[in-house]
């Protein structure tokens, strides 16, 4: 077991008089595990904070997209109304042009 622990954390190994791994400092393992747990816990908290920020950003972007869609819908309606009005004016101008042409033809 000491040989395997040595590969991961040599400081947790007690060596014999020849310098070979002899035992594991089990009293130190708990402190090391706790330290690693705290590091990972901080990472998780940071990731959660970033996720919350991203969620807020996504919600703002979705609201903006909805506002833009509504504005596009309103502009599309405005363009349709104006196109209809242009057609009406164009039709009136054609009528006036025809009437003018007839009057001019009748005068000749």
pLDDT of residue 71: 98
Bridge partners of 24, per DSSP, are 13
pLDDT of residue 64: 98
Q: Give the contacts of 35 (CB within 8 A, at least 6 positions apart).
A: none
* Regions of the chain where pLDDT drops below 50: none
pLDDT of residue 65: 98
Per-residue pLDDT tens digits for 20-36:
888 888 888 888 889 99
pLDDT of residue 57: 97
Rounded CA-CA distance 16/7 in Å is: 17
Q: Where are the domains of the chain?
A: 2-107
pLDDT of residue 11: 84
pLDDT of residue 37: 95
């Amino acid at each position: 077991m000491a040989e395997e622990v040595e590969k991961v954390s040599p400081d947790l190994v007690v060596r014999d008089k020849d310098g070979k791994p002899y035992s594991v400092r089990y009293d130190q393992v708990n402190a090391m595990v706790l330290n690693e747990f705290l590091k990972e816990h901080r990472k998780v908290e940071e990731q959660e904070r970033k996720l919350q920020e991203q969620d807020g950003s996504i919600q703002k972007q979705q609201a903006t997209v909805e506002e833009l869609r509504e504005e596009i819908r309103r502009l599309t309606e405005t363009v349709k109304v104006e196109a209809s009005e242009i057609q009406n004016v164009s039709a009136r101008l054609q009528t006036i042009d025809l009437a003018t042409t007839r009057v001019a033809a009748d005068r000749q």
